[in-house]
Amino acid sequence: MVHQNIDALFITNQNNVSYLTGFAGLAPSEREGFLLITKTTAYLITFSTYYHMYQKGGDGFVTQCITLKKRLNHILGEIIQADTIKTVGFEPDSITVSELESLKKKLPISWLDTPTTAESLRKIKDEKELTAIRKAAKITDESFTFIRKKIKPGITERMLALEIEYYIKSHAHDIAFSPIVAFNANAAIPHYLSSCDPASPAGRQRLTTNSLILLDFGAKVDGYCSDMTRVVFTGTPNPKWVDIYKIVWEAQKKALSTIRVGMSASDADQISRDYIAQNGYTPYEHGLGHGVGLAIHELPKLRPGIKDVLEENMVVTVEPGIYLPGEAGVRIEDLVVLKSDGVEVLSKASKELTVI
């Protein structure tokens, strides 16, 4: 805080609150807990629905309860007055304009934009975090073994997505995100939505022979995510699709064998991108990968223009792809841990060309 010239830091990103306090189970889309860190004390501020779980505080923080009579701004105001706080840093990516304007009106001190402060701490995983992520990756591998047995002509994208979700929820704490199941041309949409609405196109489209199936899914264990993508074929695969599969797989191999600690994120991205272009295809428009942890997408970002340096015990995806709009798409994604001598690949599921 001294370097940022602030007296306190107000944390509203729910993953950051969990990371800094161990207050597990917060929904990223909700406002269930807040953290105010001063130069002497960290205050976990939550509602009565959670307060009694953390009433005694925890490792490095004390707990305050929001009630009908004592709102968030009242608690913040008392702490600000008691500690003579004049400048508070806030997370611009996790607070709305209306929330910030309300705080400024009720608490007329200086509010300073401090982006990525807490997120930067989350980039490097400790052994406890890595253990959870390894467990999540193992269940994700097992999910792939399970779902291959369910792939049969006539099944819909929706039903396969639900099968994956059921398996993961039966073996892990939760899914890391809604599974993506995309047949043929739908696989050319990187984050295609395998809708759970039976009346939607995804709910109606049935698998036919000679098809390509892209599967992107992950498990969550102790709050930590995994992420993996595999592509399989049915019947007699289209030779062009087989060709792009081999190119994407080779592009990923080159990245996995080259990525190392000390490399910039943009240089890591360029390895696969160049190989795909050299083979006559348009490289992926997304980045080569992203950090994974409490959130499925977090720092670092492996993409052009990002100069961040890769460090040991960062957990990232490596997921090159080729997308042919209106025809098909191939993406192969592994989760890896950066180590001093290369990468530890956590995704063990086979990438051999598979025809079902």
Same domain, 112 and 165: no
User: Domain count of the chain?
Assistant: 2
Indicate if the pLDDT at residue 253 is higher than 60: yes
Q: What gap in Å lies between CA 51 and CA 219, rounded to an integer?
A: 28
Q: Do residues 263 and 343 lie in contact, with contact meaning Cβ atoms separated by under 8 Å?
A: no
For 55, the domain range is 8-122
Q: What gap in Å lies between CA 158 and CA 145, rounded to an integer?
A: 18
Answer with the one of 90, 122, 154 that is the final residue of a domain.
122
3-state SS of 153-196 is CCCEHHHHHHHHHHHHHHHCCEECCCCEEEEHHHHHCCCCCCCC
Same domain, 57 and 113: yes
Residue 57 lies in a domain: yes
pLDDT tens, residue by residue, 171-229: 999 999 999 999 999 999 998 987 656 666 656 789 999 999 999 999 999 999 999 99
Cβ contacts of 219 within 8 Å, gap of 6 or more: 136, 137, 139, 140, 143, 168, 171, 172, 173, 174, 175, 176, 225, 226
Same domain, 13 and 141: no
pLDDT tens, residue by residue, 120-164: 899 999 999 999 999 999 999 999 999 999 999 999 999 999 999
Q: What gap in Å lies between CA 326 and CA 187, rounded to an integer?
A: 9
Same domain, 94 and 138: no
pLDDT tens, residue by residue, 42-92: 999 999 887 777 766 666 788 999 999 999 999 999 999 999 999 999 999
Q: What gap in Å lies between CA 22 and CA 43, rounded to an integer?
A: 13
Same domain, 80 and 179: no
Answer with the one of 56, 91, 122 that is the final residue of a domain.
122
Same domain, 133 and 61: no
Residue 355 lies in a domain: no
Same domain, 161 and 52: no
Give me the pLDDT at residue 262, please: 97
Angle (CA) 315 116 189, round 5°: 60
Same domain, 233 and 333: yes
Residue 186: closest CA among 216, 165, 162, 164 = 216
Residue with tokens 């982006």: 115
The enclosing domain of 104 has a CATH number of 3.40.350.10
Same domain, 81 and 180: no
Residue 354 lies in a domain: no
Residue 1 lies in a domain: no
The enclosing domain of 164 has a CATH number of 3.90.230.10
**C-alpha 157, offset from chain centre:** 22
